[in-house]
Homo-oligomer: A and B are copies of this chain.
Amino acid sequence: MQLRVGIDIGGTTTVVGLVDESGKVLLKNTFLTGNEPSPNTLILAIKTWILIKAKALNAEIISIGIGAPNGNIHSGNIEHSPNLPWKGIVPLSELFFKALNVPVKLTNDANAAALGEWIFGAAKNCPNFLFITLGTGLGSGIVSENKMIYGHTGMASELGHVIMEEGGRLCGCGRKGCAETYCSATGLVKTYAELTQIDSSKLTARLIFEKARNNEPEALKAFDLLTDSLSLLLVNAVAFTSPEKIFIFGGLAQAGNLLMKPLQEKFEARLQNIYKKTVQIQFSGLKENDAAILGAVALSMQA
C-alpha cells in the first residue's frame, strides 16, 4: 500500500495524517508544536511516528505535503513566522526530506486548507473563492479563476496582516493594527479582556463563546466587535478578487450562528453596490483538522 503524509503545522499543535490514494485519512496524530527554537525535536517525533505506523500497515510513504504558517511554496521554507517558535528562515521541506527521503512540498497552512476545501470540500468546482481560517491568527487562501494565488514571492494571501487600525494592537509580525489582532480567537480574547478588565491569560475563545450563548453583554459585545472588523476585512477583500464564495474555517467557526449571522448581515450591508448579492459567506465543508491534512496531501500530489 502506498500512503501520503499530510502535515498541518499550527502555532500550538501540529497534526499529521496518513492518507491513502482515495483521500481517506487512515491514521492521524497530534503533536505539540513546542517552544524550542528549532523544529528538530518535532520532526524527530513525527518521523518516528510515521515509520512505526507505516511499518505496522506494511505501507510505503511516497510523498509529504506540509501546511505551515508563512510556508513558502517556492522555497520550501517557513519565512519569518510571527506565530511559530522558530524565527527567521526555516528550511522545513529540506529537513523533512533529509528525515524521510521522500518528495516534500510545503505551503502556507491556510493555502493548504484552502486546497483541501477545493479538492475535497465545499469549494469543489468553485473557480473563485476566498478561504479564511480563524484560529490563533487569521490565515487565508485565495483561488482566482481556478488558480491558487501565490504571487511573486510565493507568500501571497496574508489577509491576517492587512493593517486595519493604524497604531492599533501590536501584532506578532512587529507592526500594529493587523487584521488578525482583531479577527481571530486571540483577537476575540483581547477584545473581551479589554471590555471586562479580566486578565487575558485567564480567558479562552471557547469561554467567551459560552458566555455569549448565555447572553452575557460583554461577551456579546466582543462578538459584535469581531463581526464588525471581520465584515470590513471581507468587504475589502471582495474589492480585490471578487470571489463567489467565502469559506470560514478554524476554531472560531464553532461559534456557529453567533458569528455567521451578524457577519453575513454586516457584510452584505457594507458591500459596494456592484458586488451586492454576488458573494456568499459560509462555513467550511471540512472537518477542522482533516482540511489541512487533505490539502497538504493534495499539494504533495501536484507536479
Spell out A's residues near B (CB within 8 Å): 70, 79-80, 127-128, 142, 144-145, 147, 149-159, 161-163, 166, 173-175, 232, 235-237, 239-244, 270, 272-275, 278-279
Contact = CB atoms under 8 A, between A and B. Distances in A.
A303 to B, nearest CB: 15
Copies in the complex: 2
B240 A161 contact: no
A195 B17 CA distance: 60
Interface of A is mostly: loop
Contacts of A243: 151-152
Nearest to A127: B152
A275 B175 CA distance: 13
Contacts of A278: 152-153
Nearest to A244: B152
Given A156-B241, A240-B241, A241-B240, A272 B145 contact: no
Given A158-B274, A240-B237, A274-B158, A147 B150 contact: no
B173 A273 contact: yes
Contacts of A272: 158, 161, 173, 175
B270 A161 contact: no
A274 B80 contact: yes
A151 B163 contact: no
Contacts of A274: 70, 79-80, 153, 155, 158
Nearest to A237: B240
